[in-house]
Amino acid sequence: MVSANVSSNEQARRLLVATDLDATLLDHQTYSYRAALPAIEQLKAQDCPIIFNSSKTQAEQAVLRDALDIQDPFIIENGSAVVIPSGQLEHPAHALTAQIKVFGPPYAELTAQLDRIRQQHGFCFRGFADLSAETIAEMTGLSVPEATAAKQRSGSEPLYWDDSESAYDAFVDALAELGLQTTQGGRFRHVMAKTDKGMALKWLLDRYRAVLPHLDWTVVALGDSPNDLPMLQAADIGVLIPNPHRAKFEIPNIPHLVTPTQSGPVGWSEAIFSIIQGPLKKNID
């Protein structure tokens, strides 16, 4: 948990690091984070929160959080929800479960809405709620335990679209009437509320500022793909990690954009050290 050891008349600058996982903190091919460990330990030593901000679910992120001993709040399912663990911010340490803020309908309500749309319009699709963990494992290459964790969702639903593209356009219109949207993933189209990684990060940063007003937060966000851009735009410093496996995409104006020379966790570590050892060093406790 972030320390509050600052006198009332002093405002210290503190980094808050928000990061994507796949092909950013984790290597694209091996999923290793080893190259980022020195930078992670340096951030921990300076009491800087490390906020995972990923498409992964709460259960999927738990494995990596445990491995790295990271206790900070985190953002799941492409900004669909924020999870605040016990003992973080104002959530009591004795609480038995994490506090979850979902930006839209809870998962059970979301899947019920999708069922109604399917029945009303005759659309053909399969969501994770319709599929067994074994089937998802076969479709994705995940192990069955990993697929089980991917099914434990809070505020978004991946769909395998079995219908025509013209039907998909009508489906998008039906979702919009309910305040929902779709985003394109690798294999699936994801249905979620009209939120994104940047909006969820802004909400969480407001919580940090409210609970720890004596700290002047400098937000660093790291990602590699188009769905990371809202997070990078919401940050004070955006870091676009090179990904040679991804097609090029348009990059909007992002103030103070950092582009490391290396990809994955090597580039992640390069960027973090360049920030904490650079011009900000004298201002960060």
Per-position pLDDT tens, the chain of length 285: 565 444 444 468 899 999 999 999 999 999 999 999 999 999 999 999 999 999 999 999 999 999 999 999 999 999 999 999 999 999 999 999 999 999 999 999 999 999 999 999 999 999 999 999 999 999 988 999 999 999 999 999 999 999 999 999 999 999 999 999 998 876 799 999 999 999 999 999 999 999 999 999 999 999 999 999 999 999 999 999 999 988 888 888 887 999 999 999 999 999 999 999 875 544 444
Considering the domain architecture, whether residues 96 and 113 belong to the same structural domain is answered as no
Let me know if residue 226 belongs to a domain: yes
Say how many domains are in the chain: 2
Question: CA 38, 39, 43, 45: dihedral to nearest 10 degrees?
Answer: 20
Query: Which of 193, 224, 243 represents a domain boundary (last residue)?
Result: 193
Rounded Cα–Cα distance for residues 110 and 89 (Å) = 28
Query: Which of 193, 209, 224 represents a domain boundary (last residue)?
Result: 193
Active site residue 66: no
Let me know if residue 87 belongs to a domain: yes
DSSP class of residue 74 equals E
What is the SS3 assignment for 58? helix
Using the structure block, give the residue that is written with the tokens 């906020």: 51
Task: Look at the pTM and tell me if it is higher than 0.75.
Answer: yes
Q: Angle between the 58-68 and 144-151 helix axes, to the nearest 10 degrees? A: 120
Rounded Cα–Cα distance for residues 189 and 125 (Å) = 10
Q: Which of 20, 22, 196, 228 is catalytic?
A: 20
Considering the domain architecture, whether residues 127 and 187 belong to the same structural domain is answered as yes
What is the SS3 assignment for 135? helix
On whether the CB atoms of residues 214 and 4 are closer than 8 A, the answer is yes
Considering the domain architecture, whether residues 147 and 278 belong to the same structural domain is answered as no
Considering the domain architecture, whether residues 184 and 209 belong to the same structural domain is answered as no
Q: Which CATH number goes with the domain that contains 136?
A: 3.30.980.20
